[in-house]
Amino acid sequence: MSNPLSFQPLLFGGDINVYSVARAFHEAYGLRSVVFGKYPSFPCHNSAIIDYRVCPDNEDERAFRRNIQAVSAEFSQKTILLLGCGDSYVQLAAHCRDSLPENVIAPYISGELLDTLINKEQFYTLCDRHGIDHPATFIYDRSMGHSFTLPWDPPYIAKPADSVAYWGCGDHSLAKVYICQSREELLESLDHVYAAGYPDHMVLQEFIPGDDSYMRVLTSYSDRNGKVTLMCLGHVLLEEHSPHGIGNHAVIITDHDEDLCRKIQTLLEDLHYTGFSNFDIKYDRRDGKYKAFEINCRQGRSNYYLTGAGHNIARMVVEDRIEGKNKPLEITKNRALWRMVPRSVAFKFTPKQYHPEMRALIQAGADCHSLVYSRDASLKRRLRVMKNHIGNIKRFDQFNKVPEED
C-alpha cells in the first residue's frame, strides 16, 4: 500500500459506520484505511478503498491490542489514527489509549469518563445538571421484579442502561429498543432481557409522540484541547423499523438550531470531552422542547451526512491530531440530503411536506448515499450495492408504514 502521507487510518468494525469513515479518508486524502472486522461482510469486505482484515475475536482486548501492534509496526514511520466504529471498540480504545504504541493516536476521552457517559442512567444525571431536557425516566433494577409503578401511561420505552454489556450477551433475539404498548408487554420484555443474561439496569421511559421526522441527530467534534470545533444537526426524516435495525437513520436533512447546539457545547466543554460525539434527540411537540435520548462517544452510523454536507470527518481528525490546528466553532447552516435507502424508498416513507426540499436538494447536487461512491464502483461492487438497495426496498415495505396524508 503506497501512502506518502505522514499518517495511516486504522478502523475497527465492519458496518456502514466504518465504510463511511473510510470513504471520508479516501475522498480527502486518497488513502485506503486498514480495517479489522469480525466477518468478511458487506460493505467493507472487497472494497477498493479498504484494506479489510478479518479477525473473529476482534472485540477481545488481547486481539485488539495485537492488531494495533501489528499495524503500528507495519507503518512504523507513520502516525496511526485509531478510530473505533462501534461502542465496544470505542470502549477498548478509551481504556487502552494510554498504553498503546508511541505512533498510535486514539482520539478519545478516558475510559472512566466514557463509562460514565455511555451509561444512560448517569448520562441523564449530567443532562439534569446542564439543563438538557430528556424523556421522563425510571431506572429499573432486576430486584424490583414486577413490583414497580410508572408515573405515566403506555406506550413504554425500555432499553439497556449499558449497551456494551447488553449486546455482549450474544442473544440475537434481543431488540435494540422495546416499544411496549401495555404493562404486560413491558414485563414480558424485561423478563426476556434478564433471561438472556443482561446484568445491569434497564431504562424505562415515557414515549414521546411523533413519527420519525420528529427525531434529530447532533454530531460534534471536540479537539485535543476539549474545545468543540464543529456541530452538525441532522433532521431525521426516516428510520428503520425492523427489530434489529430500529432507530437506525435512513434519511437525514441537515438542520440548524443554535440554542440546542450551545447547550450541548457547554456540556461537552465542561467535561473536557475530546473526539466525536453523537446525540440522539427527539422534538416533543407537547412542550416544544428537544429531549436527549443518549450520547454515543463516537461518530454515528449515519456519519456520512456530515461529509456529504461538506464537513469531511476525516479532515477534522487529521487537522486536529496530525496538523495541530486550532479551529473556531462552526455550527452547520447549509442544507444537504443524506440517504441510506434508494430515492424511491425515501419519498415513499417520508412525510410529503418534506418532498419539495428533498427534490430541490437532489436537483442542486446536495444529495448523497453512503454506499454510492464513484471511486469504489467495480462491477462486483455495483451489483452488491444494488442488492443492498433491493433489500432495503423489501425491508421498508415489510416494517415501515407509509405516512398518512394530512
pLDDT value for 373? 98
Q: Mean pLDDT over residues 5-22, rounded?
A: 97
Q: Identify whether 12 is part of a domain.
A: yes
Report the C-alpha gap between 229 and 325 in whole angstroms: 11
Report the C-alpha gap between 153 and 12 in whole angstroms: 41
What are the CA-CA distances from residue 156 to residues 105, 163, 198, 305 (Å)? Answer: 42, 18, 19, 30
Model pLDDT for residues 101-116, shown as the tens digit of each residue: 999 999 999 999 999 9
Any idea what the CATH number is for the domain that residue 394 is in?
3.30.470.20
Give the DSSP H/E element, type plus range, for residue 265. helix 258-270
Is 18 found in the same domain as 86?
A: yes
Is 253 found in the same domain as 386?
A: yes
pLDDT value for 185? 97
What is the model's pTM?
0.94
Model pLDDT for residues 54-86, shown as the tens digit of each residue: 999 999 999 999 999 999 999 999 999 999 999
pLDDT value for 2? 54
Domain of 237 in residue numbering reads as 212-399
Is 190 found in the same domain as 95?
A: no
Is 240 found in the same domain as 145?
A: no
Is 245 found in the same domain as 368?
A: yes
Is 315 found in the same domain as 186?
A: no
Kindly tell me if the per-residue pLDDT of 3 is higher than 90. Answer: no
Report the C-alpha gap between 233 and 220 in whole angstroms: 9
Model pLDDT for residues 357-381, shown as the tens digit of each residue: 999 999 999 999 999 999 999 999 9
Q: Identify whether 122 is part of a domain.
A: no
Give the confidence band of 406 by pLDDT, cuts at 50, 70, 90: low
Report the C-alpha gap between 384 and 33 in whole angstroms: 20
Q: Identify whether 119 is part of a domain.
A: no
pLDDT > 90: percent of the chain = 94
Any idea what the CATH number is for the domain that residue 143 is in?
3.30.1490.20
Give the confidence band of 1 by pLDDT, cuts at 50, 70, 90: very low
Is 217 found in the same domain as 196?
A: no
Q: Mean pLDDT over residues 23-29, rounded?
A: 98
Mean pLDDT, rounded, of the chain: 96
